[in-house]
Chains A and B, each alone.
Chain A
Amino acid sequence: MMTSQTHDFTADAGARVRIEALAPVARFSLRVRAAGRPVLGRALGCDLPDRVGETARAGGRVALCLGPDEWLIQAGEDEADAIARAGADAYAEAPHALVEISDREVSFRVSGPAAADLLATNCPRDLDRLAVGGATRTVFDTAQVVLWREADDAFRLDVWRSFAPHVRALLEIGQAEIAAGL
């Protein structure tokens, strides 16, 4: 028989997916040729993975390989000056660009059992193929984002500051839609 009037209302809608704005961190864009990669890895105290989408972590610092010669370096906010200095000190040995972009992006965390569904409202990637611990640059609607998979049901999005209200608005629309259970 037809069950046309039933659908899955969830008692606690907020529990299905949460959206949080995250506190600022120190962020740098690092560009260096392959030959200089080990030098910069040593200088920054964190290996630089060589496959796009892979991350390495050491002492609270994270290096994400975004492109063949591009890494996103992330650390606690108070480490920004130390990172900049370490880069400057290594410049003569391994020329590179280390540009602070801490303020360029803001971050959101999307978590909960429906987190992947919420991202699938506007992200065309197959999220099943984004491994926990990995990250990638992609798009959310028309906004470029760096999408991190922190856990099976937790993601982080780094969004250029001026695009953040748009991304947030879309996330909230999707959250309400998921809460509606349809």
Chain B
Amino acid sequence: MSQFRIPGKGRVKHDEKVTFSFDGRRYEGLRGDTVASALLAHGIHLMGRSFKYHRPRGPVTADSAEPNALIGTSRGAGRFEPNTRATVQELREGLMCESQNRLGALSFDLGAVNDALHPLFPAGFYYKTFMWPRSFWDRLYEPVIRRAAGLGRAPSEVDPDRYASRYLHTDLLVVGGGPAGIAAALEAARAGVRVTLVDETPEMGGSLLSDPEVEIDGQAAWDWLAAALDELRARGVRLMTRTTAIGYYHQNMIGLCEKLTDHLDTLPENAPRERMWRVRATRVVLAQGALEKPLVFHGNDRPGVMLAGAAQSYLHRWGVKVGERAVIVTSHDSAWHAAFDLAEAGTKIVAIVDTRAALADELRAEARVRGIEVLAGHTVTGTRGRLRVASVTVNPVENGRVGDPRMLHCDCLLMSGGWTPSLHLFSHTKGSLQWDEASRTFLPGRMTEDCHIAGAGRGLWGYLDALSDGAEAGAAAARALGHAVEPTGFAVAHDRPGTGESHKELPTDRRSHRVRAFVDFQNDVTAKDLRLAVREGMRSIEHVKRYTTNGMATDQGKMSNINGLMIASDAVGKAPPEVGLTTFRPPYTPTSFGAFAGYKRGATFEVTRATPIDAFAEANGAVFEPVSLWRRAWYFPQGGEDMEAAVARECLATRGGVGIFDASTLGKIEVAGPDAVEFMNRMYTNPWTKLAPGRCRYGVLLGEDGYIRDDGVIGRLSDDLFHVTTTTGGAARVLNMMEDYLQTEWPDLDVWLTSTTEQWATVALNGPKAREVLDGLVEGVDISAEAMPHMSVAECRVAGFRARLFRLSFTGELGFEVNVPARHGLALWEALMEAGKPHGITPYGTETMHVLRAEKGFIIVGQDTDGTVTPDDAGLGWAIGKKKPDFVGKRSLARPDLVAGGRKQLVGLMTEDGAVKLEEGAQIVLDPDQPKPMKMVGHVTSSYRSATLGRSIAMALIEDGRAREGETVHVPMPDGVVRAKVTSTMFYDPDGERLKL
């Protein structure tokens, strides 16, 4: 049995040993221990080094507010986590822990030189010291500071754990499983409400776990607790432990992070490490309790100095005495009870030092019974001890004057500066805070959500008050949910109500520059830093916070914010409520990235859409590229081909014979109804009335601002039915836009829109041999040049499947697009491949498609346009139905800025040296010798090597581009200026002879 463990005491399992290591040394703890309680049981307080000064530190709390005892934990490869609070991490067999932020051994840290040099690191030192010279920042200051200051090391391996997420809908969510929360849950559950009760620790009970002497309704606290939890379970209440409410969002959405495996000796297969719950609660009860505040005095951060309430918890929950000789220093009654409990357990209480002169008689009497010396109206002016507190200096204070010092020897100093409600979640809701002068603390004020706050969370102290208030909150929630209920009362014996007062830093006789009184332990901020910030002109608490970093550490200022405010308001000379509190933000406690990511990692990081023909591409070695959410075959390398060789081969094979392309990702919308043609006339720039059934037209869609939004070939299947195609990326957007106009501007039109993108698989055949491939497979329609001219559509059968067959071309070659029901897409493809074998049919990917269309000057919306390009800019003025009275965007085409000169127009570019390919996105200038910054007149939108033409080609948007045809422009690149000639965008077969096959 370790020296400081009391046999049989606490809620740990004394018969179940758990071994773990800390900084390479093996230790034994008990099942139910935290790392902190297990180390304390061995008399170890020194657990880490501080952020800035590398000061030795030990745990100051027994809970999630812990700022000091931050450790790295590991359970093998990839499962290392820095900055874990030793006070929260439960022991598990084989747990490996290490201390942090030390250079060398924890007990002899070379970085502690920072502490000796502390006058060099005052508040704002980053801003002051390292301003000059600039180059020193990158090379010297920052690397040195980064190494010297900081917390744990970042893990470097991929996290192999799974993380889960879940939605939960509940009538009532109760946050906090202490007496108030349990009372609320009981009351609501008895009324028939669907209740969820969560607590961040492994056990429900809250402060009751640390106060077993209390009796509720005639039962010992722990018996009452067990019975209450049994009743909650029996009533179907969802009880969630190890579950932290990390954020409170709009309309009662609460984020819960549930830790599932960090406490387990072995990992169950496939078990997620953590689960993020997104809870929607009709009502919420916040019963988060209160946080104990430290006192601010010189040397208040030495290992062995801890909150009195924490010592009480270590004693009762874990059966651990935090020391043999304790001095209590307090401004609140609660620490007296801690002292009495420790005295019962055999710790020598050297003295209770209370800052208050007037003390309750009962407390004095209890102390006298136990033979404890009481020093009322005293302050603490310092502590000593290198790695552990060894003595404390106390002085009487009379009329504001600090009297003669007295040294008290001890191995632990237990402090309490009173309690402040845990306001974090309430603060997330933008609920207003209200200053309570009597308790000198902020209490929750006006609520913005359907929420109740109960117990110590609204400043009520003592078990009777907490239980009654919890029950009232539960009843109020139940009533709000339509249940009639009167809250039950409680009888509490041995209650521990109490009062106290709040302080700025304690009075001292030390000269001010020699005082190191810490306010924010995690960020190493002292009272002096706060006063310095105010002296240097920071008046707003928000500025003080940022200048000093007070409250900005991962503990979110749980221990430091109120003390910081007291000191800052004193320095500013205003009352605390006038200075105000900084905003608490989610998450309440540090939360892993994994919990936020949930399932969004690896293959499920994002949807990857694949076409019905994807399996062919996969099996035939295609290289893929992402296009919106789709993965599309980019090119099909053969042998050792690189991309350029594969694309050149695919292009030549298509122009010389026949190529086959998976166009299934194209958006497809069925526009049907008596007013279909009217709708098309209003949406697209083109005229549709005279388009005969069986024919197609290239359509351009504008935004109301006159800029190109989308394009595609549209076939008219009958008078009332159009088959619209959109770009791959634009499918959902275009349908949304069409629905918007139809539902809200033209609800009188009898026309309906249905997405058929995924109903059809689409295969494009292009090349002079395309018809020969198709011929034997088509039934029900004559596909000869005469019967089915370019830009036709027919319903027929292809390869035995019901099909919509288009004759169109995005390559400039004879082309067909075959649509069959998606499940037959792969079979159609394979049939076409088989039929095409004698003709050398060649599968090609999106890159070849891009090259072939660029050789013809066909645009890609989103590549050659960017949302600021009009049809005229893109050379598509011909596609505008000028006689139509109106269509979406028509009015804008007469906007003064769109008809003015100097618009960027789409043109072709040919580099003087055809072997040089321009870079897409490269900027274009007219005079390469002009001084910088040069006037840029446009940029390259598309650029390829054209195997057909044996040289590079490009398209570009250039100011007044069409008027510059024949001129030379310049493209400055890092390795020299490229000269290029402005040309037409029609690089190949400008007269369209090849379509006439």
Contacts and interface: CB of A to CB of B under 8 A. Distances in A.
Please say whether chains A and B are actual partners in one complex.
Answer: yes
B750 A4 contact: no
Given A104-B759, A163-B609, 15 more contacts: A1-B11, A1-B13, A2-B12, A4-B263, A5-B264, A7-B264, A29-B754, A31-B672, A104-B758, A125-B167, A141-B599, A162-B609, A166-B609, A180-B271, A182-B268
A121 B758 contact: no
A160 B755 CA distance: 11
Contacts of A160: 758
Contact of B166 (A7, A96, A117, A125): A117
A90 B842 CA distance: 46
Interface stretch (B48-56, B334-342, B600-608): B600-608
Contacts of B754: 29, 31, 97, 99, 101
5 contacts: A96-B752, A97-B672, A161-B758, A162-B611, A165-B608
Interface string A90-131: 000001110111111100000000000100111111101000
Nearest to A117: B166
A44 interface: no
Given A1-B13, A143-B607, A177 B162 contact: yes
A95 B674 contact: yes
A121 B600 CA distance: 12
B169 A97 contact: no
B265 interface: yes
B980 to A, nearest CB: 40
List 10 tightest A-B contacts by C-beta distance, closest first.
A31-B752, A162-B609, A97-B752, A97-B672, A126-B169, A103-B822, A176-B270, A180-B271, A99-B754, A103-B821
Given A101-B759, A103-B823, A182-B268, A170 B604 contact: yes
Contacts of B608: 165-166
A176 B823 CA distance: 29
A101 B604 contact: no
Contacts of B769: none
Contact of B32 (A2, A9, A100, A103): A2
B295 interface: no
Contacts of A128: 169
B783 interface: no
B164 A161 contact: no
Given A179-B270, A182-B272, A122 B31 contact: no
A182 to B, nearest CB: 4
B261 interface: yes
Contacts of B165: 121-122
B304 interface: no
B387 interface: no
Range, interface on chain B: 35 or more
Given A104-B822, A121-B165, A182 B271 contact: yes
A102 B821 contact: yes
A99 B265 contact: no
A41 interface: no
Given A177-B272, A182-B261, A2 B674 contact: no
A161 B612 contact: yes
A165 B672 CA distance: 31
A6 to B, nearest CB: 10
B698 interface: no
Contacts of A14: none
Given A24-B823, A165-B608, A5 B31 contact: yes
A1 B10 CA distance: 9
B750 A121 contact: no
A81 B509 CA distance: 97
A85 interface: no
B673 A169 contact: no
A4 B31 contact: yes
Interface string B742-779: 00000000111111111110000000000000000000
Interface string A1-43: 1101101010000000000000010000101110000000000
B516 interface: no
A182 B275 CA distance: 9
Nearest to B265: A5
Nearest to A118: B166
A105 B758 contact: yes
Q: Identify the interface centre among A4, A7, A176: most chain B CB within 10 Å of its CB.
A: A4
Interface string B833-863: 0000000000000000000000000000000
A72 to B, nearest CB: 11
A163 B758 CA distance: 10
Contacts of B272: 177, 180, 182
A7 B672 CA distance: 57
Contacts of A163: 607, 609
Contacts of A161: 612, 758, 822
A115 to B, nearest CB: 14
A36 B604 CA distance: 43
Nearest to B266: A5
Nearest to B607: A166
B202 A2 contact: yes
Given A126-B280, A142-B607, A181 B268 contact: yes
B268 A180 contact: yes
B986 interface: no
A31 B769 CA distance: 41
Interface in A126-146: 126, 128, 141-143
A32 to B, nearest CB: 8
Given A97-B670, A182-B260, A123 B609 contact: no
Nearest to B280: A126
Given A97-B754, A126-B280, A182-B271, A173 B604 contact: yes
Nearest to B825: A103
Interface string B84-96: 0000001000000
Interface in B165-200: 165-169
A124 B167 contact: yes
B278 interface: yes
B678 interface: no
Contact of A97 (B202, B203, B673): B673
Contacts of A97: 670, 672-673, 751-754
Q: Which of A2, A128, A141 has the most CB of B within 10 A?
A: A2
Contacts of B720: 95
A159 to B, nearest CB: 10
A93 to B, nearest CB: 12
B630 interface: yes
Contact of B202 (A4, A101, A105, A179): A4
A9 to B, nearest CB: 7
B821 A122 contact: no
B897 interface: no
A49 B260 CA distance: 45
Contacts of B164: 121, 174, 177
Contacts of A182: 260-261, 268, 271-272
A162 B610 contact: yes
A69 B11 CA distance: 62
A122 B751 CA distance: 35
A117 B167 CA distance: 9
B138 interface: no
B756 A122 contact: no
